[in-house]
Amino acid sequence: MAGSDSNGLESFEKRISVSFDNERLLREAFTHRSYLNENREPGLAHNERLEFLGDAVLELVVTRHLFDTYPQSTEGDLTSYRSALVNAQTLSEIAQEIGMNDYMLLSRGEAKDTGRARQFLLANALEALVGAIYLDQGYDAAAAFIGRSVLPRTEKMVADQLWRDAKSLFQEKAQDEAGITPAYQTISESGPDHDKKFVIGVYIGKELVAKGEGKSKQEAEQEAARKGLEAKGW
């Protein structure tokens, strides 16, 4: 963890414009379960409980913003907007932008992971950070942080239709172009029950078009469909 001393955390606090009263909460937000398997530190917990809390706070703030901003949108569209704003890809990009990757506390093995594996770690840590801010500073501070980091992406996401359901679009294209309804198959699943990771392939006939990863089969299927659209140039 680059910058794991208090000065490093102070630098991060300045970057996100939040000053913690309880710095242990901030440190906990960066702590992956694997780190504690190799480093026993009294009083330090991993970030999964904070992630659980932060996920709920994030969803509420984003939902209220979308409800107020798009009064003509249907419930289904608002749900799609929200999913696009709080999925692992978006949250990991935001975590990267605010420099969270430099402060993560990981095991030696996890620290070597890149790509989708690191994306999930960062997305989870961002949710944990929201939970930590909520506990330490209250709802308004957490909402303000989300307003600075997440909500500015809303307009572009809606304008560019990044919220569109990739599976539905891929099915339309596959039927139009190939005359075949695509099929999804689970290639692998790993991890404990509370932190599953699924790899799912999307097929047109016998052709494996693309693979997607996700914390649920639905998320992995959407990722596979998005990659399938790119692979086919659709």
pLDDT tens-digit series, residues 217-233 = 888 998 899 899 889 88
Q: Is the pLDDT confidence value at 142 over 80?
A: yes
Supply the pLDDT for residue 119: 86
Instruction: Using a pLDDT cut of 70, give the percent of the chain over it.
Output: 94
Residue 31 bridge partners (DSSP): 105
pLDDT tens-digit series, residues 85-111 = 998 889 999 999 999 999 999 988 887
What are the Cα distances from residue 209, in Å, to 38, 184, 195, 196, 198? 39, 10, 26, 23, 17
- Looking up tokens 């944990």 gives 128
Higher pLDDT, 166 or 220: 220
- Looking up tokens 């992630």 gives 51
Q: Which of 73-87, 156-170, 187-201 has the lowest mean pLDDT?
A: 156-170
Catalytic-role residue among 51, 127, 136, 213: 127
Strands of the sheet with 197-204, listed across from one edge: 183-190, 197-204, 207-214
Which domains, from first to last, does the chain contain?
A: 6-159 (1.10.1520.10), 166-232 (3.30.160.20)
Q: Is 127 annotated in the active site? A: yes
**How many beta carbons lie within 10 A of that of residue 15, not counting itself?**
12
CA 80 – CA 83 distance, rounded (Å): 5
| pLDDT, averaged across the chain | 89
CA 89 – CA 70 distance, rounded (Å): 23
Catalytic-role residue among 28, 55, 110, 221: 55
Q: Is the pLDDT confidence value at 117 over 80?
A: no
Cβ neighbourhood burial of 174 (10 Å; 0-12, 13-18, 19+): buried
What are the Cα distances from residue 45, in Å, to 30, 72, 140, 171? 10, 44, 25, 44
Q: Is 136 annotated in the active site? A: no
What are the Cα distances from residue 10, in Å, to 27, 106, 192, 201? 11, 20, 34, 43
